[in-house]
């Protein structure tokens, strides 16, 4: 049976196998799909440049722990119902698309352990502050090579963790980081930050919260 015949398929779970090769393009045009989980396989190749256009109902997309490469297209925002996106531990490159900020339902974003880059002002981070439901953005282990913008303090109170360790961040930690009053874990270590710890980060003494610089 060809996957293209499964017109009503809503969930496709193939994680933790020994799957190899590329992901068939037909999967990214199965419009009824709400959940895709390819995590922890040995898949390679790229994902389509028009990612998102054929999956308007997609809510969960997991492909962590593979050997996928290439870039992530701005068209991913066409999957406007996405709540969880995990692309971690692959070989993705290129800019993190600012269109992720258009995903109003996004709660979890895991890009850890790739080769994503950014412009010097981390403008994609500014766009992510538009995701008012975002709880867990994990950006660690990517060579972002930029400066934390003051807008890093503009995330909503929904934010619980902020992890950008090992990202070649430079410059000072902005005072506005103290605005993240809902955060319970912040990881900024293994970067190239300078200056002082802002006095606005007074909440780090709370034993229920963790600040790692």
Pairing of strands 185-187, 161-163: parallel
Tokens of 39: 């995590």
Q: What is the DSSP letter of 22?
A: P
Residue indicated by tokens 């969960």: 60
CATH code (residue 105)? 3.80.10.10
Q: Would you state the pLDDT for residue 209?
A: 55
Q: Which of 65, 61, 72 is nearest to 43 (CA)?
A: 65
Domain count, the chain: 1
Measured distance CA(159)–CA(36) in Å, rounded: 24
Q: Would you state the pLDDT for residue 204?
A: 45
Coil, strand, or helix at residue 109?
strand
The answer to whether 106 and 76 are in contact (CB under 8 A) is no
| pTM, to two decimals | 0.92
Divide the 213 residues of the chain into consecutive groups of 10 and give the mean pLDDT of each group: 78 97 93 97 95 95 98 95 98 96 98 96 95 97 96 94 95 93 92 91 55 55
Half-sphere CA count of 113, side-chain side, radius 13 A: 11
Domain containing 153: what range? 3-212
Coil, strand, or helix at residue 85?
strand
pLDDT digits (tens, 9 = 90+) for 102-126: 999 999 999 999 999 999 999 999 9
pLDDT digits (tens, 9 = 90+) for 26-58: 999 999 999 999 999 999 999 998 989 999 999
């Amino acid at each position: 049976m060809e996957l293209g015949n499964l017109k009503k398929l809503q969930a496709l779970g193939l994680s933790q196998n020994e799957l190899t090769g590329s992901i068939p393009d037909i999967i990214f045009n199965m419009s009824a799909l709400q959940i895709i989980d390819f995590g922890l396989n040995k898949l390679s190749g790229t994902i389509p440049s028009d990612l998102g256009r054929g999956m308007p109902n997609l809510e969960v997309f997991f492909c962590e722990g593979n050997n996928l490469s290439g870039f992530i297209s701005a068209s991913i925002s066409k999957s406007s119902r996405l709540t969880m996106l995990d692309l971690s531990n692959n070989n993705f490159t290129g800019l993190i698309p600012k269109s992720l900020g258009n995903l109003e339902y996004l709660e979890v974003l895991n890009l850890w352990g790739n080769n994503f880059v950014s412009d010097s002002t981390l403008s994609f981070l500014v766009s992510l502050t538009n995701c008012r439901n975002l709880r867990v953005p994990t950006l660690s282990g990517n060579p972002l090579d930029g400066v934390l913008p003051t807008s890093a303090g503009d995330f909503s109170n929904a934010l619980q963790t902020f992890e950008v360790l090992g990202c070649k961040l430079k410059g000072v930690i902005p005072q506005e980081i103290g605005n993240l009053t809902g955060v319970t874990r912040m990881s900024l270590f293994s970067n190239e930050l300078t200056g002082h710890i802002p006095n606005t980060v007074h909440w780090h003494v709370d034993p229920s919260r963790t600040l790692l610089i």
